[in-house]
A and B are shown apart, each in its own frame.
Chain A
């Protein structure tokens, strides 16, 4: 049973466009929602994270939008670049040890 559901599975965006990846969760005890970026042949790396006490967090071109009542959160990549092409994972935890990951979204940004 997937604790965190992620969509879409793959995404193709033109350079300069906005990439949007969505995640949903069920466990209301989750209190930390990170996004990880993974390049081919590499391990996932923390990109940006949010706590449920805020509805949005922005770091450069990357923004997390968080909807606590809907139990959904999303990653927005503004002005998408070819270098952003990677697999993105959302995750959730309430312990800092047991992270529940989504199944990943393969993003391709076309020049």
Chain B
């Protein structure tokens, strides 16, 4: 299994530009999570989907951020317009929903996209 795939791995853009981050889930998984990682705040959940439906987007910082799942295996996170404070590493993770053997199902993380907004 290839694991969660993210692209691009690195993105450098100028303030005001639109940025689109992409994520391909592990085959068979139907929960998708977008995280942002910074030194100051660590890992923060931005939004998650179950079966292509956004369940909780309370972590999305502001209207400049939007996420979609056009199909069961693919998601995008868009920032428009981008700002320097959006610079961070963005991870997506996927899992089966619910529990297994009494424990919550593991979230499998992609390698991340390092975004730099100048």
A49 is an interface residue with CB less than 8 A from chain B: yes
CB pair B42 A96 closer than 8 Å: no
Cross-chain contact of A99 among B98, B107, B108 (Cβ < 8 A): B107
How many Å lie between the Cα of A91 and that of B99 in the bound state?
Answer: 17
How many Å lie between the Cα of A45 and that of B104 in the bound state?
Answer: 15
Choose the segment among A60-68, A75-83, A100-108 that binds chain B (4+ C-beta atoms closer than 8 Å). A100-108
How many Å lie between the Cα of A6 and that of B42 in the bound state?
Answer: 10
B33 is an interface residue with CB less than 8 A from chain A: yes
Contacts of A97 in B (CB 8 A): 31, 33, 48, 55-56
With both chains docked as a complex, state the minimum distance between the C-beta of A82 and any C-beta of chain B, in angstroms: 22
With both chains docked as a complex, state the minimum distance between the C-beta of A24 and any C-beta of chain B, in angstroms: 14
Interface of A is mostly: loop
Q: Fill in one digit per residue for A1-32: 1 if any B CB lies within 8 Å of its CB, else 0.
A: 01000100000000000000000000000001
B103 is an interface residue with CB less than 8 A from chain A: yes
A93 is an interface residue with CB less than 8 A from chain B: yes
CB pair B45 A98 closer than 8 Å: yes
With both chains docked as a complex, state the minimum distance between the C-beta of B60 and any C-beta of chain A, in angstroms: 13
Contacts of A2 in B (CB 8 A): 42
With both chains docked as a complex, state the minimum distance between the C-beta of A6 and any C-beta of chain B, in angstroms: 8
B34 is an interface residue with CB less than 8 A from chain A: no
A43 is an interface residue with CB less than 8 A from chain B: yes
B102 is an interface residue with CB less than 8 A from chain A: yes
**New A-B contacts (18) at CB < 8 Å, excluding given A43-B4, A97-B48, A104-B42:** A2-B42, A32-B103, A41-B111, A42-B111, A43-B93, A43-B109, A46-B106, A46-B107, A51-B103, A96-B98, A97-B33, A97-B56, A98-B45, A98-B48, A99-B107, A101-B42, A101-B44, A103-B41
